[in-house]
Amino acid sequence: MDAVLAEQYGTSVRVVDATPVGGGCIHNACRLRLARHRDVFLKYNAVGEYANFSAEGRGLRTLAEAEAEAIAIAQPIRHGKSEGHAFLLLEYIASAPRKRGFWTEFGQQLAGLHRHTQVQYGFVQDNFIGRLAQKNDWRDNWTDFFVEMRLEPQLVLAEQNGYADAELRRSFARVYHRLPDLVPQEPASLLHGDLWGGNFMIGAAGEPVIIDPAVYYGHREMEIAFTQLFGGFDREFYAAYQAAYPLAPGWESRTDLMNLYPLAVHLNLFGRSYLPEIRRTLGKYA
């Protein structure tokens, strides 16, 4: 990393200390203290994970290009390969207690991010959600994107893993058929894509900072639903979001539907314990 950093910042920069950082379930991570420069955050793994780091870097750059009212991110510095490893260098985020109004600011800023829209749903490249591939081919409407790029790839993978039987496929097919009537169309919003309680931090000034994205342009109810899947977001967050950029009427009734995707992802990552919730959700909307 001395050689990589010298190329990035100049020969006077070198690593003086590396402190492991826990919390991730896929990659190794550490804080690098640098001589004559600010600290950086290093994620690394076997060279086979290069595509994952490349996609994360692209997603972070896309979020960074959003206008000033959008939420802060861990700024990407560089990704690459070195000595049999793949790596991603990021700005190091020093943490502090939440400032007053943290959740209100978070909700307002996420609404600002979601105001960045595209006509089509998708992204400029495929990426990853956890270790699983996430397809992002452009589609003209949300129903096609949700089925073809989100639900169906996970259902096929679940079938390959032995988790999905013929009845589960029939239940998904019934939901696919009903989707145009269930979900209102709206412009495709820029989404973090994997926004749960473990993928935001509190910055040095007590502000919200988002990390570990799976970026794409999608239906913003997906993002709001994801924040509710595992809890951890205060009700002030939702009130502030609604005041800044109101969701379509009835969005609460669609939360479980939108969370079919992350539930299917967790089924394929962690196993059969997620099947009962998936079956319950399918039964609700089929």
Residues labelled as active-site residues: 194
271 sits in the region (left: phi over 0; alpha: psi -120 to 50; else beta) called left
Position of tokens 């000595």?
Answer: 83
Q: Over the chain, what HEC string results?
A: CHHHHHHHHCCCCCEEEEEECCCCCCCEEEEEEECCCCCEEEEEEEHHHHHHHHHHHHHHHHHHCCCCCCCEECCEEEEEEECCEEEEEEECCCCCCCCCCHHHHHHHHHHHHHCCEECCEECCCCEEECCEEECCCCECCHHHHHHHHHHHHHHHHHHHCCCCCHHHHHHHHHHHHHHHHHCCCCCEEEECCCCCHHHEEECCCCCEEECCCCCEEECHHHHHHHHHHCCCCCHHHHHHHHHHCCCCCCHHHHHHHHCHHHHHHHHHHHCHHHHHHHHHHHHHHC
Count of positions (residues) in the chain: 286
Count CB neighbours of 285 within 10 A: 16
In degrees and rounded to multiples of 5, residue 78 shows phi and psi of -170, 150
How many other CB atoms are found less than 10 A from the CB of residue 176? 17
